[in-house]
Amino acid sequence: MRFKPLEVLRRAVRPVAALATAVAALAGGMVVAGTAGAVQTSGLPGYTSTVAFDIKWPTWSTWGETDFGPLARVDGRWAYCVEADVKYTGVAGTWSNVPSSNVTATRLAWLADKYNDNNDLHQAALSYLVHEKMDPNGAAFLNAFAAAGLKNGDWNQVKSTAGKMWTDATNNMPASVKAEYEYDANTKRSGTVNVSIRNAANTYLQGIAYTATLTGPAVFASNGKKTVSGKTAANATHLKWTATGNGKVTTKVSYKAPVARRLASPNQDLFQFDKDPATKSASVTFNVEKSFQPTITTQISATTLPRGTPVKDNITFGVNKGDTWPANTKVRADGYYYVGNKTSILTTIPLNKDETPDAYLTRVKAHAGSPKATATITATKPGTIETTALNANGKPYTSPGDGSYGTWVWVIRKSQQADPGMISGDYVDVFGQKNETASHPGTPSHDSVVLEQAGSTGRDIMDTITIGALPADYGSYTGDAQYGFDKDADATIRVWWAGAGTGVKADDEKYKPTTVEEPKADANHRIIGEWTVPARNGRYKVGGGTITLTTRQIRPTFLARTHDFERMGRME
């Protein structure tokens, strides 16, 4: 504060104060006098004590009318006394910022900035707080004013206003900022950044100016830009964002915080707020996806498809780890069913690095020929869809039942999607996978089931058996443990006796086989011979050498043969 020297009469106070202001102007740079309504004797806003003011310091004393308010205006801001026991001779020395960890000084700076005006009461109240909170001898100094009173103001009003200001700073000065993120439902393509600025009691503050900035592939929905400014709401402020690509996004939210500074002076130290506020900020980082990578895994409906069976497949749509499928986004997948022998089908063809679906399918065609059937499906969410392979005419493709094999290839082409920008890239479910491969077992052909009517006991039965419709290479396939397919098996030929056993033809006729089904053993049907022979296309001779069956002690009756092709790998 500025005081009247002991040796100067009261009427000399104003000239001394004016001289001090001039010194402040010389030492501190730009100094602006108070308005015409200011009531300190110095001409600055504030008040003056009555003549009853009196205080004694260890080395000097002050009495009489004494000013109470800021001492100078430096660079457009008021400067306040923080050393009541030191004589003020002008603004001189070095300014330095007070660490923000000094909450008291920061709150005083927040108030000094808020009330940087020429109001006498405001400036007197601010001076009161600076002495109360920062001046080691402030209590004694304030008590002296309380005892003397003000000649042109109300000391109690000054004290009361100072208390209200301090409560204002405690409740409304920002103490922390927080940034959080939130995704919209079932997507990482959009969401919100939730901004909150709070006081020391962790209560939301409304109306605090902030700036939010996005770094990475996203923009704010409100303006399509990476930066947005506004003022906080009563609770968290939700800022909508949308992804412009895939990757990490960092949101930084900042606000301007007051900075206190103090003049280290050879005479009296001063306090004011800095003209350059600090930037307090918080950030949060999260992943965004404008596009996602759909995947497909498949499971053929059956690994054995007899002749005439429709070829079906179960396609399970999913996404790459960490991706999400945006709601109602359509994904198209195309399937190709290839048919061939064991050499062309029972092998996998891996996808080369950066190979497109069409380039891959060209390699597959060179190996296995063109697909026999195709399918196209569209999904709007992860899950499994069953589909049927179709011929070029749109009708279901069925197993040829010729001992061949079939396998699927499925592809997702980015270029064929309804919204290609939503899909990260192509996807290929490759050729020859076990879960996508089936056999098409054939049914061998053979001649009639009834051989002949035996004429007498002890007679050799002479007959030929013709087997056809086997694959040309049948018998050479040793099976495939990887795919779970059995080796080519031999055929079993059985000869049954069927009859009444009475020797009467009319009686035997009742038990003559009439179908290709093998009889069930009973009193009128029993096996009298069984042979295992290599299964090949061709004619087999029964009796007379190669396969000979001799009946003994059996009356003339009907004999039947059956060909057993169970578990014959590629045949059924």
For the domain that residue 412 is a member of, what is the CATH number? 2.60.40.1930
**β pairing state of 54-56 and 61-63:** antiparallel
> What would the DSSP string read from start to end of 28-74?
HS---PPPTT--STTSSSSEEB-TT-EEE-SS-EEESS-EES-SEEE
Of 132, 157, 172, the residue at which a domain comes to its end is 172
Least confidently predicted of 5-19, 474-488, 546-560: 5-19
**186/299 same-domain check:** no
**β pairing state of 427-429 and 538-542:** unpaired
Q: What residue type is 282 in one-letter code?
A: A
- Tell me the pLDDT band of 462, cut-offs 50, 70 and 90: low
94 occurs within a structural domain: yes
9 occurs within a structural domain: no
Q: pLDDT tens, 285-312? A: 999 988 999 999 999 999 999 999 999 9
- Tell me the pLDDT band of 477, cut-offs 50, 70 and 90: confident
Q: What are the strands, taking DSSP E only, across 469-537?
A: 491-498, 525-533
- Mean pLDDT value across residues 468-494: 75
Q: Which residue has the higher pLDDT, 461 or 209?
A: 209
**341/428 same-domain check:** yes
**pLDDT value of position 461:** 58
**pLDDT value of position 440:** 94
Whether residue 463 is predicted with pLDDT greater than 90 in this model: the reply is no
Whether residue 29 is predicted with pLDDT greater than 90 in this model: the reply is no
Q: pLDDT tens, 309-361? A: 999 999 999 999 878 888 889 999 999 999 999 999 999 999 999 999 999 99
Least confidently predicted of 287-291, 411-415, 546-550, 560-564: 546-550
20 occurs within a structural domain: no
Rounded-to-integer distance, Cα 381 and Cα 156, Å: 72
* In the chain, % of residues over pLDDT 70: 84
pLDDT, mean over the chain: 85
**pLDDT value of position 313:** 97
Whether residue 12 is predicted with pLDDT greater than 80 in this model: the reply is no
Q: Which letter does DSSP use for residue 565 in this model?
A: -
CATH number at residue 209: 2.60.40.10
19 occurs within a structural domain: no
Whether residue 17 is predicted with pLDDT greater than 50 in this model: the reply is no
> What would the DSSP string read from start to end of 174-216?
--EEEEEEEEPTT-SSEEEEEEEEE-TT--B-SS-EEEEEEES
Among the listed residues 376, 396, 428, 392, the one whose alpha carbon sits nearest the alpha carbon of residue 305? 396
Angle at 443 between CA 440 and CA 449, to 5 degrees: 170
Whether residue 39 is predicted with pLDDT greater than 70 in this model: the reply is no
- Mean pLDDT value across residues 14-36: 31
Of 289, 307, 340, the residue at which a domain comes to its end is 289
147 occurs within a structural domain: yes
**460/419 same-domain check:** no
560 occurs within a structural domain: no
Whether residue 442 is predicted with pLDDT greater than 60 in this model: the reply is yes
Whether residue 466 is predicted with pLDDT greater than 80 in this model: the reply is no
Angle at 409 between CA 290 and CA 373, to 5 degrees: 120
Distance of CA 468 to the CA centre of its chain: 60
- Mean pLDDT value across residues 60-68: 94
**430/308 same-domain check:** yes
Least confidently predicted of 160-164, 209-213, 254-258, 472-476: 472-476
Whether residue 33 is predicted with pLDDT greater than 70 in this model: the reply is no
**104/197 same-domain check:** no
10 occurs within a structural domain: no
Residue 476 falls in which region: left (phi positive, over 0), alpha (psi -120 to 50) or beta: alpha
**476/514 same-domain check:** yes
Whether residue 51 is predicted with pLDDT greater than 80 in this model: the reply is yes
Is the separation of the CB atoms in 455 and 551 below 8 Å? no
Rounded-to-integer distance, Cα 472 and Cα 385, Å: 37
**266/210 same-domain check:** yes
- Tell me the pLDDT band of 251, cut-offs 50, 70 and 90: very high
**426/311 same-domain check:** yes
Rounded-to-integer distance, Cα 467 and Cα 208, Å: 93
**167/148 same-domain check:** yes
Whether residue 162 is predicted with pLDDT greater than 50 in this model: the reply is yes
Neighbours of 420 (CB within 10 A): 11
C-alpha distances out from residue 73 to 23, 109, 184, 272, 402, Å: 12, 15, 52, 9, 103
Of 257, 289, 321, the residue at which a domain comes to its end is 289
**pLDDT value of position 547:** 52
**pLDDT value of position 495:** 73
**433/468 same-domain check:** no
Look up tokens 């009193």; give the residue: 523
212 phi/psi in degrees, rounded to 5:
-115, 135
pTM of the model: 0.62
**pLDDT value of position 206:** 97
**pLDDT value of position 13:** 32
**pLDDT value of position 564:** 52
**pLDDT value of position 447:** 64
**282/320 same-domain check:** no
Two tokens, residue 19:
């001289």
- Mean pLDDT value across residues 221-231: 97
Enclosing domain of residue 265: 176-289
Look up tokens 């209590």; give the residue: 139
Whether residue 556 is predicted with pLDDT greater than 60 in this model: the reply is no
Look up tokens 């001076």; give the residue: 127
**300/434 same-domain check:** yes
Rounded-to-integer distance, Cα 572 and Cα 570, Å: 7
- Tell me the pLDDT band of 159, cut-offs 50, 70 and 90: very high
Q: Which residue has the higher pLDDT, 461 or 206?
A: 206
13 occurs within a structural domain: no
Among the listed residues 122, 411, 436, the one whose alpha carbon sits nearest the alpha carbon of residue 294? 411
Two tokens, residue 388:
């049927």
How many structural domains comprise the chain? 4
